[in-house]
Structure 1
């Protein structure tokens, strides 16, 4: 359906069903009425607008009524466009939403036993059970596969045993609003990485807000300390028994982030286009100048290429085809395109491109976080390079 998104030049949204578009229009209405009017204020304050959580939750977009009523499956393609729509408005809001709908839900669904998934997934969809993904550590990000230091020790008892977890996590987005942390820790018995659902209010869990961020300022990232934290044996996700299992989760998550990057690119482009269409210089709209039009053309091409990549990737995933290097390529490329598009948007808005009033400054700053999280440009390039050559060059 050409025109569903003003920045969807090739009309990729035509691949959505009428029911999927109807659900996205409900989301758009909430974003326009509840989020857009306040997002810059909260970005400036470095606070999360708690009042937007309930309206977003009530949309029930992990199991949208329109799609289910039409007898359709909730496709990955719908989830991708949902992230795209959210990211067009704000990168922090989509990152917050995706922490539940993408990172945490993926971890439980891929890492949990059939019984765990059957119990937890409906609660995750309804937001009755809110969680976040806790992998990165203060000293380990890109090298987390080999460097992960958080430990888990099993201790048997008459109640089936429990795990004792010690360590620290960093950059955990949305932790303050979560009920539980999906904590990845190394089993002291076999040195394998495993995952545990740790309540945020458990004794020994300490959360501290990371202050003075210059990107994703709305998103509340946390430092987490885990000191002799005890969880029951049932808190371990049974199908995560190595970092290879963690990598399977990341393969899915990177496609989510690629959609976010594509959506944020669209938001930056649309904000810049609105500005130059209304701004007069030398007695004419800025949009009438050749160099401005050249930059707009580059920005729209970036958005279109990014959409083409994530749509194709997600169509393959909807068919059951999941390939590490494909997700890595998409995240790498779309984040690069976002960085360039946001920079061009800021550039054509001149001095007004560095104030929040026109939205461009927010997209410009937030692009830096998206460029780095869920796999840096370099790590994703090496994942792709390994696939190309058959040689791992990580060390």
Structure 2
């Protein structure tokens, strides 16, 4: 009964996003997923939902509470992880970077058209050799007159091959600190010379949102495109702290979908002359799934409360992400197993949720990394790096 405590506005938001997902996204998403293409036809509907920019206040954004922003991620995850990733990258990471790290002119310049989805965004932090240790990023930036010259390599950048506005993080050669830059797609549709993105192919999950491998070679960025309030990696952490939790809410959505599909299938599928829902083994599985789902919902609701009070810590967020990812992935696997061979068919959706949860368990910090953050908080000992043996 957690949703019974929602405000009328939040319930209306939930119902609006859920209906759009069920009526517009779900009927088409399997075809796009199988072809590994993004469903651009849903963009106008996403714009009209009034959800773009989530927690950002002003600039044509809705200024949602943390609970409302979580509901958006939950309901989108309940339908499809690829569209939810598009929204998370565009609304939270890219727009959030501009909102928190840009000056007022930069916010006015980029945020309103992005809120109207006239321009789409990307967030370029991860590199081929720096994922969990993104603080060690190697992409460089050098100031030459009134232009920054960037060189490096980014990978796994959602929408990085076709976004209009890309927030790209690089290390200033002068002071060794991380700075944030805006790469803009030109009116011709081309990117500036030196920005060479290629979509990564062959993924098994979140196939309807493409990630890019980006080679950056002597990319020239005007000084007005450096986000003024990012002077070190602390700026990146500000954005990640503000957007932390989205993956956990999405995991709840995938878990909800898995439980609902499994329960419905168990009542419809007959074996040995009776619905499989009548067997003790199946009922025990469903009871365990519901227990796990409820605990995930409780954790995310509490997370939103703490975020509103600015009391959520990194270890708390890691504990929630680790728990929700593990439980939702287990639920998707259980639902797929319960549906046996039918669970392998895209038309039954659960296999898409299963492979999407493999992705959720990886991005925004793998389960292993989250466990190490929690472990450090418990013991006071950092186990992030292997200790060198004494000679």
Question: With structure 1 as the length reference, what TM-score do the two structures score?
Answer: 0.90
**2:108 matched to 1:123?**
no
2:52 and 2:87 in contact (8 A); partners too: no
Instruction: Give the secondary-structure state (helix, strand or coil) at the position aligned to 1:222.
Output: strand
Counterpart pick for 2:161 among 157, 176, 193: 176
**2:134 matched to 1:149?**
no
Counterpart pick for 1:337 among 305, 313, 327: 327
Q: Any gaps of 5 or more consecutive residues in structure 1?
A: 1-10
Q: CA deviation at 1:110?
A: 2.2
Taking the TM superposition and a 5 Å limit, the aligned residue runs for 1:249-328 are 249-328=239-318
What is the distance in 1 between the residues matched to 2:268 and 2:112?
47
Q: CA deviation at 1:361?
A: 1.0
1:253 and 1:374 in contact (8 A); partners too: no
Instruction: Give the secondary-structure state (helix, strand or coil) at the position aligned to 1:189.
Output: coil
Instruction: Give the secondary-structure state (helix, strand or coil) at the position aligned to 1:176.
Output: coil
The residue that corresponds to 2:347 in the other structure is 357
Q: Deviations over 1:223-275 (max 9, x none)?
A: 11111111111111122222222122222333111111111111111122222
Q: CA deviation at 1:114?
A: 4.2
**Structure 2 CA distance for partners of 1:12 and 1:119, relative to 1, 3 Å:** farther
What is the distance in 1 between the residues matched to 2:64 and 2:202?
38
**2:226 matched to 1:236?**
yes
**2:9 matched to 1:26?**
no
Question: With structure 2 as the length reference, what TM-score do the two structures score?
Answer: 0.91
Counterpart pick for 1:95 among 71, 81, 85: 85
2:53 and 2:92 in contact (8 A); partners too: no
What is the distance in 2 between the residues matched to 1:273 and 1:218?
27
What is the distance in 2 between the residues matched to 1:343 and 1:386?
30
Q: CA deviation at 1:392?
A: 2.4
Q: CA deviation at 1:73?
A: 5.9
The total of aligned residue pairs comes to: 375
Shifted more, 363-372 versus 118-127: the winner is 118-127
| CA RMSD after TM alignment | 2.0
Counterpart pick for 1:13 among 3, 25, 28: 3
Instruction: Give the secondary-structure state (helix, strand or coil) at the position aligned to 2:161.
Output: helix
2:53 and 2:95 in contact (8 A); partners too: no
